[in-house]
Chain A
Amino acid sequence: MNAIEIRNLTKIYIKKRLLKNKKFLAVDNLSFEVSKGEIFGFLGPNGSGKTTTIKMLLGLLFPTAGESLIFGEKVPSLSIASKIGYLPEIPYLYKYLTEKEILSLYGLISGIPRSVLSDRIEEVLTAVKLKTEKDMRLGEFSKGMLQRIGVAQAILHKPELLILDEPFTGLDPIGLKDMREVILKLKAEGKTVFFSSHIISEAEKICSRVAIIDKGRLLRVVKIAEIKPNSLEDIFVDEVSRAESATA
């Protein structure tokens, strides 16, 4: 069974105007699979439909056509949602809550029993090196600290699949290294990691496969083991330029 199966997924946004509605094709007949236990990179330029696809996987958006399955079950599904850890591009967190309060909230909603929740929060806060700040309100946190809380909430309920939206964007070199380590550790624990990015070098370092998309269409799925080292960026640029010139 695949961790993710996307079948002919299409999303058309309809912007309501007074006279005529405006349509925008964000994801166009997208199909690919992500195997269990692999790190899969979802690469594409800005506005290529990566976040839209992720939101459809999470049930935040509904597809216009097609479907996606996670661990064989059609999404959106509550039972599947408990197996997913999601890290948005910018950690959208409540600035009036402390890190302990926010993790308790997410933990309880994710079905972690109260009896083990406190210990689990301590565990993840240690893992993301934030233990000392647990009673500070998130409004007082720096960007890097918020990113760490973002990671903490994503791994809190020990999900089998992690969906990370642009996890490397805006990180300093140490942050990048930490994030890379977190992802590799998750893979070592047998988790599946699916992440979107336009930072090709990072994807090449850690992924087993990547999908390249542009304008919502799948251009190519690349197995990193089958390409020359450091050639992913050239492949990405070639594919995207070819697709751009074909549609121009």
Chain B
Amino acid sequence: MSNILPIIRYTVRENIRHKIFYVLVIFAFAMIGADLLFGVLAGDEQVRLLLDMGLVAIEIFGLLVAIFVSVSLILEEIEAKTIYLLLSRPLKRTDYILGRYFGMILTVSIGVLVMVLVHLGFLYAIGWQSETAYFYSIFGILLKIILISTVALFFSLFSTSAVTSIVFTIFFWILGYLGTELKFLSSKIGNIFIKAILKFFFYIIPNFQYLNFRDRYENLSYSILVPVGYTLVYSTVCIILCAMLFSKKEF
């Protein structure tokens, strides 16, 4: 277990120094900047527009950074063969996976935090009054990032191609917003085979609807226990599967 910490540390260092990370964060800044421009055009609705568009930008870029970083997390190490010098040491493969995973979550969280600070800066500058719901929304985004990262990591261990893993993850990401629709469809369809497939997807995809705090911005009367519990259980199961896949992997 003591080996997890050094792995987390180098993962964060490596990712933060990686050009891709900067590019995506800069894109996010540009997006927030554009929101500001739209906000000015919107007149009275400036605060609302900047708030909503900024949250969307943080979520999309946060998730994109998470997907790209997670997919390349292990694949890049295998391709560059840097993994040889780690796994030939007294390092449990499970510790390696956990260290890489938590390091990645920490890196992406740092990225999100930077975006949030910039966003808040803009919001306060135009006279926004602080709302608890904003921070709930950010928390929801972080939970989504945790979920999608675990899914991306899982797919990256299945395939040897980063593109395939990204495509599968984005497919799950989109389906993650359509959980209720899938359930509704499965109840309406008569064909038992299609019904079973829809049900199967409903249960295995990460259900982002639990975490869409942003959609319930005006109504804070809900518990965060279920979404947090759901994220923990889903990502734990996923990480266990990742560890199982990784333990059999050859390099």
Contacts and interface: CB of A to CB of B under 8 A. Distances in A.
Interface of A: 55, 58-62, 78-79, 81-82, 84, 86, 88, 90, 92-94, 96-97, 101-102, 104-106, 108-111, 137, 153
Given A101-B13, A109-B3, A78 B90 contact: yes
A29 to B, nearest CB: 20
B90 A92 contact: no
Contact of B18 (A79, A86, A96, A153): A96
A82 B90 contact: yes
A82 B92 CA distance: 12
B90 A110 contact: yes
B81 interface: yes
A70 to B, nearest CB: 12
B84 interface: yes
Given A60-B88, A92-B81, 7 more contacts: A61-B251, A78-B90, A88-B84, A94-B14, A106-B86, A108-B6, A109-B89
B6 A60 contact: no
B151 to A, nearest CB: 24
B174 to A, nearest CB: 28
B84 to A, nearest CB: 5
Contact of A60 (B3, B14, B251): B251
B90 A86 contact: no
A171 B3 CA distance: 34
A82 B2 CA distance: 15
A60 B87 contact: yes
A109 B90 contact: yes
B41 interface: no
9 contacts: A58-B88, A59-B87, A59-B88, A60-B84, A60-B88, A81-B91, A105-B10, A109-B91, A110-B89
Contacts of B7: 105, 109
B90 A79 contact: yes
A4 B139 CA distance: 53
Contacts of A59: 87-88
Interface in B1-60: 3, 5-7, 9-10, 13-14, 17-18
Given A88-B81, A97-B13, A104 B6 contact: yes
B13 A96 contact: yes
Nearest to A98: B13
B5 to A, nearest CB: 8
Contact of B85 (A82, A86, A96, A111): A86
Contacts of B3: 108-109
Given A94-B10, A96-B17, A111 B90 contact: yes
Contacts of B6: 104-105, 108-109
Contact of B250 (A62, A92, A109, A137): A62
Given A61-B250, A96-B18, A101-B13, A82 B89 contact: yes
B85 A93 contact: yes
Please list the 10 inter-chain residue pairs (A to B) with the smallest Cβ-Cβ separation, ordered nearest first.
A92-B81, A96-B17, A58-B88, A82-B90, A81-B90, A108-B6, A78-B90, A60-B251, A86-B88, A92-B82
Contact of B82 (A78, A82, A93, A108): A93
B92 A101 contact: no
Contacts of B17: 96, 137
Given A92-B81, A108-B3, A109-B6, A97 B88 contact: no
Contacts of A137: 17
B125 interface: no
Contact of A94 (B82, B90, B250): B82
A81 B86 contact: no
A106 to B, nearest CB: 7
A164 B35 CA distance: 56
Contacts of A88: 81, 84-85
Interface in B58-105: 80-92
B95 to A, nearest CB: 9
Contacts of B90: 78-79, 81-82, 109-111
**Max count, chain A CB within 10 A of own CB: residue among B10, B13, B80, B83:** B10
A106 B17 CA distance: 19
